[in-house]
A and B are shown apart, each in its own frame.
Chain A
Amino acid sequence: MSTPFTEQNPLPPKMTEKFLTWCLPKSLKEPVAGDLSEEFSGKAVIEGLSEARVWYFRQAFLTAFRYLFKTKRGLFMFIFGILTFLGTLLMALLMSGELDMFVNIPSFLVVVPPALFITIGISSKQTCKQALLLMLDDELEASLTELKSAKQMFQVLGNTSVL
């Protein structure tokens, strides 16, 4: 339940606040965002809205970057893994001939859609969504069954892509 914007109670910049809460661990989202919001309102009334905004940006970004690499480590490793894989793949393709020999629309159509259809068919749309979220969000809590389902989903996706 958030309070609407008024002159006595101005709200902090929305996007910055969203970025901050996205970076923070679950246990700190509420107290940290609340403290900054409370202080922002006070500063906006006393020092003016633009001063308060500058102060808020500084606090929010310094705090966000302190926690970003702790809470989103999984996401960064995923991106790094994908980039490394693509880089290696591209290098291998370029070294073994022309790129067109390997990368073309028919090959893509033969591999990707069937792999996706088989994976969704064997697990379920919900399981696929949950598995992807688990990969991207380090803080997401899941039961052992959900983790096993996610593992199975990735195994099926990998195997069907290779086949």
Chain B
Amino acid sequence: MDKEKYLGEFEQVILLATMRLGSQAYGKTIRVLLAELLKRDVTVGALYATLERLENKGMVTAKMGEPTNERGGRAKKYFEVTAKGHQSLKRSKDALTLMWQDLSLRLVSNGEML
């Protein structure tokens, strides 16, 4: 049995957002992307706690940018998904795809089963 744990849903979402944003992935842009695409309002604390955990697991790397005036002279922290992060995402995606195979959902619309 593989001892490595699967990524959590929020971890996957953050890794995917980081990949989508490429070289522009930092706290604010990740939050804005999640709000726009998923309509999910994430607090900055929850985001950084997850990014820190992913960094400790070696799934993302971080580097500090230059300080800017619009941020009160503070630097941005840019994130990039590592090869290990890509591998974990693939593993999680494969697992979900496998579990979804041959299944269909019975959704309820206006009180009637579809």
Interface residues of A (CB under 8 A from B): 1-3, 9, 11, 28, 30-39, 41, 58-59, 62-64, 66-67
Contacts and interface: CB of A to CB of B under 8 A. Distances in A.
B43 A63 contact: yes
Interface stretch (B5-13, B14-22, B44-52): B44-52
Given A28-B48, A66-B49, A67-B45, A38 B70 contact: yes
A1 B67 contact: yes
A33 B45 contact: no
A82 B64 CA distance: 40
B22 to A, nearest CB: 18
B70 A33 contact: no
A38 B75 CA distance: 11
Contacts of A66: 43, 45-46, 49
Contact of A36 (B44, B67, B69): B44
B71 A32 contact: no
B57 interface: no
Given A31-B77, A33-B74, A39-B28, A3 B69 contact: yes
B75 A31 contact: yes
Q: How large is the interface on B (under 10, 10 to 19, 20 to 34, 35 or more residues)?
A: 20 to 34
A38 B45 contact: no
Contact of B71 (A37, A59, A67): A37
B74 A34 contact: yes
Interface of B: 26-28, 31, 43-46, 48-49, 52, 64, 67-77
Nearest to A60: B44
Given A1-B67, A38-B70, A38-B71, A31 B76 contact: yes
Given A31-B75, A31-B77, A34-B75, A41 B45 contact: no
B65 to A, nearest CB: 9
Given A2-B73, A3-B73, A33-B72, A38 B28 contact: yes
A11 B26 CA distance: 21
Given A31-B76, A31-B77, A62 B45 contact: yes
A12 to B, nearest CB: 8
B53 to A, nearest CB: 13
A32 B75 CA distance: 10
23 contacts: A1-B67, A9-B69, A31-B27, A31-B74, A31-B75, A32-B44, A32-B45, A33-B72, A33-B74, A35-B26, A35-B76, A37-B71, A37-B72, A38-B70, A39-B28, A58-B43, A59-B43, A59-B44, A59-B45, A62-B45, A63-B43, A64-B45, A66-B45
A40 to B, nearest CB: 10
